[in-house]
Structure 1
Amino acid sequence: MSDIKSQLKQELAYVEWRDLIPHAQRDVLIVVEPSLDILEVGDAIAGDQVNIVQSWISQNLIHKPTPDQLSDWNITPERQFSTLIVQPFVLVQFINSSELQ
């Protein structure tokens, strides 16, 4: 595991949507689809691995939240996300409550 990835693993947090709203308002959220490992994505972004990140973007595996997603999340502010800050972005990945146990 890379040093960056080890550091990111320590910074991984579970946060409710209500706490992410200010980041959404600043347009810094990046949604990571469940098929990807949020730590891998964070490591690639932090390590400036442009080709990998571009590939994920082109496959819509990482993207800005859609207006529909934002509306849905605002209805359920207690919804849980895995989050990872990779300046200037906040990576978010929806998690099922069963994954928190």
Structure 2
Amino acid sequence: MPASEVSTAWPRADAVLLDVRTEQEYHAGHVLGSLHINMMGAGFQQRLEKLDKNKEYYVLCRSGNRSSAAASLMIRKGFTKVTNLRGGIVKWQGELK
């Protein structure tokens, strides 16, 4: 799903926006209320395991490549509602903090 579509209807109380960018990228600008877990950081998979697998997740990175890989991993780990946001933060049209 394109990031621009989700950004116009965000925030949503029934879903989690998971930002998998690096610390530096995240602190340069992120969506308020997003959950940050650095995909390239140590312990990424362990932190995923602590999340509720039945919640709905929208996964975001800079352009959509890392978030696609993270979303695929989440599905393999048993998450049931995972959507990769194509275009990433570059295409996000909402406000950033």
Larger Rg, first or second structure (1 or 2): 1
TM-score (normalizing by structure 1)? 0.28
User: Which structure shows the bigger proportion of residues in helix conformation?
Assistant: 1
TM-score (normalizing by structure 2)? 0.29
User: Which structure shows the bigger proportion of residues in strand conformation?
Assistant: 1
